């Protein structure tokens, strides 16, 4: 058997959970939340302590066995006994930059999928707004201008081909909603598995240039890994159909910003909807702010009134499993980066 960092980490976890007692730090100053979490470990040897600030967290974690909270490098490096970190987010690139996590000595779990439906709704909102030129009409409304002359590049989704790059939880939810608009859906997925019934074709990463040429709408929904950093560069964007639309709801660093700006200016890309950009926050002098064919939302694609509670539900279930010595949900594979 080959002992990968993930397997080594899981073995460490299994040994560690037998230790007695176990102390977990929860990065929350809400006493009601802490009591709610304690109900999940009633009768176990797990004790929970709260930390309402980073200063408190860095002090409390020194002798802790686990942490439910942010991937704060100072705190995690101070926690000499840590063997499990549960983060409340989906993206884990900052977590994986911490040596103890990257090397597999600390098990990392996150909360993917819980907000996939919200991300999909946001993506469809961007697609409809850009395709139907809603920002142009908002500008006309603001100026009090009634004009029945449509803006350039008004497009319909009906019958068009949508390429989703990163057909994971978010990407699959996007595809499910796009089918309601009678789009033909193709996707790219690194791990090949069962194809969703509403997706026409699922290709491998090496097929990306060819599939980009077939798409009227391209959505990036990939996590940030070594392979996806700078993925959408000038060479790949040159494969897009002239007049196609591009949307990024994955990670900003997956796109070379200057190359995207050039493709928008040349007309190669008719319009873009960007929930994530590089860098973040986007500088005020970036041309993207004033381009009439670009719609920007400030990395809020997963925001809703349900977001926080959904995340806490997953974290509470993992806490319960931890106390029982059961397999944890959503363990991050440090080799893949997600």
CB 254 within 8 Å of CB 226: no
133 burial type by CB count under 10 A (0-12 exposed, 13-18 middle, 19+ buried): buried
Q: What is the spatial distance between Cα 51 and Cα 231, in angstroms, rounded to a whole number?
A: 39
Query: Which DSSP category does 96 fall into?
Result: H
Q: How far is CA 36 from CA 28, 41, 42, 53, 205, in A?
A: 12, 10, 10, 20, 43
Active site residue 121: no
Active site residue 299: yes
Annotation says 39 is catalytic: no
Catalytic residue among 207, 280, 309, 326: 280
Q: Which of 83, 251, 268, 316 is catalytic?
A: 251
d(CA 167, CA 293): 26
Which residue is catalytic, options 153, 299, 320, 321?
Answer: 299
List Cα–Cα distances, 8 to 99, 101, 210, 219, 323, in angstroms: 15, 12, 39, 36, 20
Q: Which residues pair with 271 in a beta bridge?
A: 245
Integer Cα distance of 198 and 211 in angstroms:
17
CA distance 301 to 115: 9
Cite the active site residues. Answer: 251, 280, 299
């Amino acid at each position: 058997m080959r002992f990968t960092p993930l397997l080594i980490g899981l073995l460490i976890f299994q040994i560690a959970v037998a230790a007695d007692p176990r102390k977990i730090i929860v990065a929350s100053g809400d006493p009601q939340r802490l009591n709610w979490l304690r109900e999940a470990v009633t009768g176990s040897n797990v004790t929970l302590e709260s930390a309402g600030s980073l200063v408190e967290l860095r002090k409390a974690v020194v002798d802790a066995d686990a942490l439910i909270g942010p991937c704060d490098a100072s705190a995690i490096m101070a926690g000499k006994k840590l063997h499990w970190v549960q983060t409340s987010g989906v993206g884990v690139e900052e977590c994986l930059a911490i040596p103890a996590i990257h090397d597999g000595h600390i098990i990392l779990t996150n909360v993917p999928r819980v907000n996939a439906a919200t991300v999909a709704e946001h993506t469809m909102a961007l697609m409809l707004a850009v395709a139907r030129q809603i920002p142009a009409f908002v500008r006309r409304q603001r100026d009090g201008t009634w004009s029945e002359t449509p803006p350039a590049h008004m497009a319909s989704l009906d019958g068009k081909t949508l390429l989703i790059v990163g057909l994971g939880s978010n990407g699959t939810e996007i595809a499910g909603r796009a089918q309601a608009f009678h789009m033909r859906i193709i996707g790219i997925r690194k791990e090949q598995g069962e194809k969703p019934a509403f997706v026409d074709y699922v290709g491998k990463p090496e097929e990306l240039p060819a599939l980009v040429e077939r798409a009227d709408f391209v959505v990036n929904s990939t996590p940030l890994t070594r392979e996806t950093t700078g993925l959408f560069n000038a060479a790949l964007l040159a494969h897009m159909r002239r007049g196609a639309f591009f949307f990024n709801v994955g990670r900003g660093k997956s796109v070379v910003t200057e190359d995207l700006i050039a493709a928008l200016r040349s007309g190669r890309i008719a319009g873009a909807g960007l929930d994530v950009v590089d860098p973040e926050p986007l500088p005020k002098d970036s041309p993207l702010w004033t381009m009439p064919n670009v719609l920007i939302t400030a990395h809020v694609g997963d925001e809703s009134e349900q977001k926080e509670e959904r995340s806490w539900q997953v974290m509470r279930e993992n806490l319960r499993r931890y106390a029982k010595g059961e397999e944890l949900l959503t363990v991050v594979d440090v080799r893949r980066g997600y």
